[in-house]
């Protein structure tokens, strides 16, 4: 297949491109490198060294300028993987500027993509990376997409997003559904859980904005810091390692939907609470002699800290997804990979400073 990856320079985009090429697909990419800039602006950088874009260019044709130009060149695309969105809930809650940029870039970026697909490649399969965070934490079982039975059967399951980032993904969902229904586009909307781990050549972020919780915990363990558990620690989510995210996205690409079809995959392997993850990371760190401690800190987020959580995730398994891994072993391998970079850890960027609830800080609304 001819596949275009938007956000090819990212945490998921780069290893996905390498994997798809190994499977014989022709891959091109687009990335404006803004993830690198935003991480640096937060005073951080990838803990593991990553190649610059000039070194990556010979690997794949990568455009850093304009999507429309690339579309005109590749109008016979079979699939587009859309990973090119601002990915941080915390960053979207920082201030009015970051909230506005999140909504603008994510919602309008996806809307522009849909119009370009309708004009240049209406038969291409759009694989869009969404988030399980669209659903929130309702006190009921979360289906994959539509409500399966009862008087509301067939309707999209209600969304209850917890940040301006998650809300941008909700808006994307409805825009993509409308484009499929109106223009006959086809799309797989990936409601992904929290990704952790590392693959060769990709980045590892651990700051409060761009570092996911397991990656952050593992860095804290190596740095000799207590694992910072937000609030009570009962927050429960779905998790999967980076290698499984690559596997699932590949399954979605190689098993496309019909023309005009919109489908949803809930993409994760297992659910864990923050307290459970902290215990696993603590045990793994202690095995390396790190003497890991845990610290419950004031929760900077506005969220339920104890709740029911039971999402359905069967569709990828039906396509062949086999999460044959043990989280303890995966976390052990991640800590082992981090230890050689202990001296490069910037402790000051890990603790949360962004408060999601209203504060006395007044923001500049002149944008």
pLDDT for 349-359, tens place per residue?
Answer: 999 999 999 76
Q: What value does the mean pLDDT of the chain take?
A: 94
User: Is the residue at 35 inside a domain?
Assistant: yes
* Radius of gyration for the chain, computed over Cα atoms and rounded to the nearest angstrom: 20
Q: How many residues does the chain have?
A: 367
Four-CA torsion 192, 246, 106, 315, nearest 10 degrees: -40
Q: What percent of the chain has pLDDT over 70?
A: 95
Residue 282 clears pLDDT 60, i.e. is over it: yes
Q: Over the stretch 311-325, which tens digit does the pLDDT of each residue have?
A: 999 999 999 999 989
Domain containing 183 — which CATH number?
3.40.50.720
Higher-confidence residue: 91 or 152?
91
How many of the other CB atoms lie within 10 Å of CB of 164? 22
37-46, 50-59, 182-191, 245-254, range with the lowest pLDDT: 50-59
Residue 81's pLDDT band, with cuts at 50, 70 and 90, is very high
Query: What is the bridge-based pairing of β-strands 310-311 and 270-273?
Result: unpaired
Once rounded to an integer, what is the mean pLDDT over residues 196-220? 97
DSSP structure class, residue 174:
H
User: Is the residue at 281 inside a domain?
Assistant: no
> Which are the contacts of 322, defined by CB distance < 8 A and separation ≥ 6?
none
User: Annotated active-site positions, please?
Assistant: 131, 165, 169
User: Is the residue at 50 inside a domain?
Assistant: yes
Cα separations in angstroms, 98 against 15, 56, 102, 175:
27, 29, 6, 22
pLDDT of residue 70: 67
CB 290 within 8 A of CB 221: yes
Residue 144 clears pLDDT 90, i.e. is over it: yes
pLDDT of residue 365: 47
pLDDT of residue 346: 97
Once rounded to an integer, what is the mean pLDDT over residues 136-155? 93
| Half-sphere CA count of 195, side-chain side, radius 13 A | 28
Higher-confidence residue: 64 or 80?
80
Q: What percent of the chain has pLDDT over 90?
A: 88
Residue 362 clears pLDDT 60, i.e. is over it: no
User: Is the residue at 359 inside a domain?
Assistant: no
**Could you give the number of structural domains in the chain?**
1
pLDDT of residue 260: 96
Closest CA to 163 of 297, 352, 363, 356: 356
Once rounded to an integer, what is the mean pLDDT over residues 102-120? 93
Residue 75's pLDDT band, with cuts at 50, 70 and 90, is confident
Q: Where are the alpha helices (DSSP H) in the chain?
A: 13-22, 34-41, 53-56, 67-73, 89-92, 96-103, 109-120, 164-183, 213-223, 242-254, 274-287, 315-319, 327-338
Once rounded to an integer, what is the mean pLDDT over residues 103-110? 94
Residue 71 clears pLDDT 90, i.e. is over it: no
Structural domain range at position 82: 2-193+240-268+308-323
Once rounded to an integer, what is the mean pLDDT over residues 287-308? 97
pLDDT of residue 76: 86
Once rounded to an integer, what is the mean pLDDT over residues 57-77? 73
User: Is the residue at 106 inside a domain?
Assistant: yes
User: Is the residue at 263 inside a domain?
Assistant: yes
User: Is the residue at 364 inside a domain?
Assistant: no
User: Is the residue at 157 inside a domain?
Assistant: yes
Whole-angstrom distance, CA of residue 291 vs CA of residue 300:
26
pLDDT of residue 68: 73
Cα separations in angstroms, 185 against 42, 126, 151, 262:
38, 8, 28, 8
pLDDT of residue 367: 46
pLDDT of residue 73: 65
């Amino acid at each position: 297949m001819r596949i275009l990856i938007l956000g090819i320079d990212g945490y998921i985009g780069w290893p996905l491109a390498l994997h798809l090429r190994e499977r014989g697909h022709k891959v091109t990419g687009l990335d404006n490198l803004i993830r690198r800039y935003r991480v640096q602006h937060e005073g951080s950088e990838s803990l593991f060294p990553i190649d610059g874009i000039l070194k990556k260019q010979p690997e794949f044709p990568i455009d850093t300028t304009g999507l429309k130009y690339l579309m005109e060149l590749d109008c016979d695309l079979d699939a587009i993987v859309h990973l090119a969105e601002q990915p941080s809930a915390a960053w979207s809650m920082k201030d009015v500027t970051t909230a506005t940029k999140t909504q603008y870039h994510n919602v309008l970026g996806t809307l522009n993509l849909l119009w370009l697909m309708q004009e240049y490649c209406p038969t291409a399969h759009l694989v869009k990376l969404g988030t399980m965070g669209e659903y929130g934490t309702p006190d009921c079982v979360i289906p994959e997409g539509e409500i399966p039975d009862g008087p509301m059967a067939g309707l999209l399951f209600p969304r209850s997003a917890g940040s301006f980032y998650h809300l941008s993904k909700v808006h994307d969902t409805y825009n993509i559904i409308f484009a499929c229904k109106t223009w006959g586009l086809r799309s797989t909307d990936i409601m992904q859980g929290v990704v952790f781990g590392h693959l060769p050549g990709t980045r590892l972020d651990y700051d409060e904005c761009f570092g996911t919780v397991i990656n952050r915990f593992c860095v804290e363990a190596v740095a000799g810091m207590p694992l910072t558990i937000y609030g009570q620690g009962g927050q429960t989510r779905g998790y999967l390692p980076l290698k499984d995210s690559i596997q699932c996205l590949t399954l979605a690409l190689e098993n496309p939907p019909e023309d005009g079809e919109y489908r949803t995959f809930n993409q994760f392997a297992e659910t864990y609470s923050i307290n459970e993850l902290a215990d696993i990371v603590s045990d793994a760190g202690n095995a390396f002699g790190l003497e890991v401690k845990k610290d419950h800190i004031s929760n900077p987020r506005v969220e339920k800290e104890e709740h029911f959580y039971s999402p359905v995730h069967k569709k990828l398994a039906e396509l062949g997804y086999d999460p044959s891994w043990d989280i303890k072993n995966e976390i052990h391998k991640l800590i082992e990979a981090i230890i050689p970079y202990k001296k490069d850890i910037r402790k000051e960027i890990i603790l949360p400073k962004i408060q999601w609830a209203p504060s006395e800080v007044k923001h500049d609304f002149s944008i």
